[in-house]
Amino acid sequence: DTLDPSSLRTPIVAVLGHVDHGKTSLLDKIRGSAVIEGEAGAITQHIGATAVPLDVISSIAGDLVDPDDFDLPGLLFIDTPGHHSFTTLRSRGGALADIAILVVDVNDGFQPQTLEALDILKRSQTPFIVAANKIDTVPGWNPNEDSPINATYDAQSDRVSSRLDESLYEIIGNLSDEGFSADLYWRVQNFQRNVGVVPVSAMTGEGVPDLLAVMMGLSQRYMKEEMEIDVQGPGVGTVLEVKEEKGFGTTIDTVLYDGTIRADDEIVVGGQNDPIVTEVRALLQPRPLAEIRTESRFEKVEEVSAAAGIKVAAPDLADAMAGAPVRIVRDRDLEGVRTEVEAE
């Protein structure tokens, strides 16, 4: 039986992996934008958030995703930095996630931050799939823009496809060494028990339809199991970044992972010293497919429900901290909420 789409929370998908393995490029391919061009030295230094609506997912995935089969409104992708100095941001991104994509460069294979990311996923028991990225760099590769993986496989010579297979089996072996039973995704029956490996290219878009189809399937199953998640109650979130916004003063870019936030809510935010108690002045929503880190045209909204990336403008946010909890008070006792924030 189908569920009311508004009753299923948007799943949070974290994108993790070693530096330069193509996390931001993969998201750029899905967004149809170019966030890496705006990054210093093409290194991601903050956690980002991008909402991708279901209709965009199904238009990219073509026959692989029929929107009528899904009750989810879309996916909220969390981009994380792969550079070794950002361990805290990676684990924060991993902890926010319902499910994850571990990006591994097929030629470079497992690297230190690949292992670190796996460790985060293991500890948080987050179901994930592996995107074996940059398949277009296999020598002799014959690219097929935006093609599903089986079609582009068929278009390769035997020598090229067996070279790719070798790299893929090496990744599968590495996963097995870390205690994960993994296989090429089309051989996996239960994605919560076994890790599916999806060959992709963020450059040519090959395999991206497959990646999205697997993510949607995994998300839908997972979110239905997590139905106790309250999508209508007072919201709970995490601060990604504290930023000045022209005309609004200090604002907090927030990932709301449960419940709702409204434009007139009283909120408690973790601060450098004591929790900050303040009232929302404006909720600024990035456009669909926009990365909250780089968005310049926000839409003022009255209410947002989880999961979402939202910029919150409110007085007294100067002492707010990235990574700090955000909780909406609404009809609850303020002291109780303040205690919850202090305890986090």
291 binds ligand GTP (CB under 6 A): no
**20, 253, 265, 291: residue in contact with ligand GTP (rule CB under 6 A):** 20
Residue with smaller CB distance to Mg ion, 9 or 92: 92
- Cβ–Cβ under 8 Å, residues 318 and 250: yes
Helix residue ranges per DSSP H, 52-106: 54-61, 87-96
Interaction of residue 82 with ligand GTP, rule CB under 6 A: yes
What's the CA gap between 204 and 194, in Å, rounded? 27
When binding is defined by CB under 5 A, the residue of 18, 26, 29, 44 that contacts Mg ion is: 44
50 touches ligand GTP (CB under 6 A): no
# chain residues binding ligand GTP, by CB under 6 A: 22
Question: H/E/C letters for each residue in 218-252?
Answer: HHHHHHHHCCCCCCCCECEEEEEEEEEECCCEEEE
Residue 285 as a binder of Mg ion (CB under 5 A): the answer is no
Sign of CA dihedral 275, 310, 6, 94: negative
Residue 136 is labelled as binding a ligand: yes
- Pick from 9, 81, 63, 23: nearest CA to 229: 9
Q: Which residue among 33, 36, 119, 231 contacts ligand GTP (CB under 6 A)?
A: 36
Q: How far is CA 331 from CA 30, 252, 324, 335, in A?
A: 39, 23, 22, 12
| End-to-end Cα, the chain, rounded Å | 38
Tell me: is residue 79 an annotated ligand-binding position.
Answer: yes
Residues 242 and 293 sit within 8 Å (Cβ to Cβ): no
Residue 190 annotated as part of some ligand binding site: no
Q: What residue 48 binds from ligand GTP, Mg ion, none (CB within 5 to 8 A, per partner kind)?
A: none
Amino acid at 208: V
Site residues for ligand GTP, 98-137, by CB under 6 A, read 133-134, 136-137
Pick the stretch among 15-23, 116-124, 186-194, 232-240 that binds ligand GTP (CB under 6 A): 15-23
Is residue 80 part of an annotated ligand binding site?
yes
Work out how close the CB of 133 gets to ligand GTP at its nearest, in angstroms, rounded to a whole number: 5
The verdict on 24 binding Mg ion (CB under 5 A) reads: yes
19 is in an annotated binding site: yes
By CB under 6 A, is residue 202 in contact with ligand GTP? yes
Residue from 14, 16, 19, 208 in contact with ligand GTP (CB under 6 A): 19
What are the phi and psi torsion angles at 21 (to 5°)?
A: -80, -5
Say whether residue 142 binds ligand GTP (CB under 6 A): no
Using CB atoms within 10 Å of the CB of residue 193, give its burial: 0 to 12 exposed, 13 to 18 middle, 19+ buried: exposed
Q: List the structure tokens of 233.
A: 């109650």
Is 126 annotated as contributing to ligand binding? no
Give me the residues paired with residue 197 across strands.
130, 184
- Which does residue 136 touch among ligand GTP, Mg ion, none (CB within 5 to 8 A, set by kind)? ligand GTP
Which stretch, 14-22, 64-72, 115-123, 291-299, contacts ligand GTP (CB under 6 A)?
A: 14-22
- In the chain, DSSP finds a helix count (H) and a strand count (E) of 8, 17
User: 10 is in the binding site of which of ligand GTP, Mg ion, none (Cβ under 5 to 8 A by kind)?
Assistant: none
Residues forming contacts to Mg ion in the complex (CB under 5 A) are 23-24, 44
Chain positions contacting ligand GTP, by CB under 6 A: 17, 19-25, 36, 42-44, 81-83, 133-134, 136-137, 201-203
